[in-house]
Amino acid sequence: MIIGECRRYLRDNNAIRVSRSLRDIAYKAIYAKEALMKKQEKEPTLEEIAAEIDVDKKLVATALDAIASPMSLYEPVYQDGGDTLYIMDQVSDKKDREDHWVEKLSLKEAMKQLSERESHIIKLRFFEGKTQTEVAEEISISQAQVSRLEKNALKSMKKYLEE
């Protein structure tokens, strides 16, 4: 009974609340991994662990992630003299990388070089995904004119960006 109370206290007073069933799957996966390592003498794959405990591999991955201890982004990973490398330095933001926002700025500047009409056509075509026919109907000109204006606008943007 005392051991049960200790386990309950440790389970309920963690920094992150994880359901008991998820925690059970994680512990089963850990035991299965150890057993497979002894049997195969190599690191088992996630698929092998999932097959061993008869649970979907995505659920096993989620369970193992759930019981991992959280770490601070300012946790040192490497220290060489005065240069400390933190976890935060190793995390990348795929959505808003530096080259991405530089491209956005360049594109905005190139768009400023266009006439109001050309800019509107480029926005409709490439930012709203409309066809040349849809753009032509919206601004009351022919599709051929839209094509010509778009081609000239892209040409002048390209020229600006190459300078």
- Spatial separation of the C-alpha atoms in residues 22 and 62, rounded to whole Å: 8
- Alpha carbon of 42 to those of 30, 55, 61: distances in Å? 15, 21, 19
Nearest to 69 by CA among 9, 14, 29: 14
- Spatial separation of the C-alpha atoms in residues 96 and 145, rounded to whole Å: 36
Q: What is the pLDDT of residues 5-53, one digit of tens each?
A: 887 787 677 666 777 888 899 999 999 999 999 998 889 999 999 999 9
Q: Whole-model pTM?
A: 0.43
pLDDT at 120 over 90: yes
**What was the pLDDT predicted at 121?**
93
Task: Give residue 86's pLDDT band: very low, low, confident or very high (50, 70, 90).
Answer: confident
Q: Torsion angle of alpha carbons 22, 24, 26, 28, nearest 10°?
A: -150
In order of start, what are the domains of the chain with their CATH numbers? Answer: 2-70 (1.10.10.10), 98-162 (1.10.10.10)
Nearest to 111 by CA among 50, 48, 67, 158: 158
What is 16-79 written as a DSSP string? S---HHHHHHHHHHHHHHHHHHHHHSSPPPHHHHHHHHT--HHHHHHHHHHHSPP--TT-EEEE
Residue 120, amino acid: H
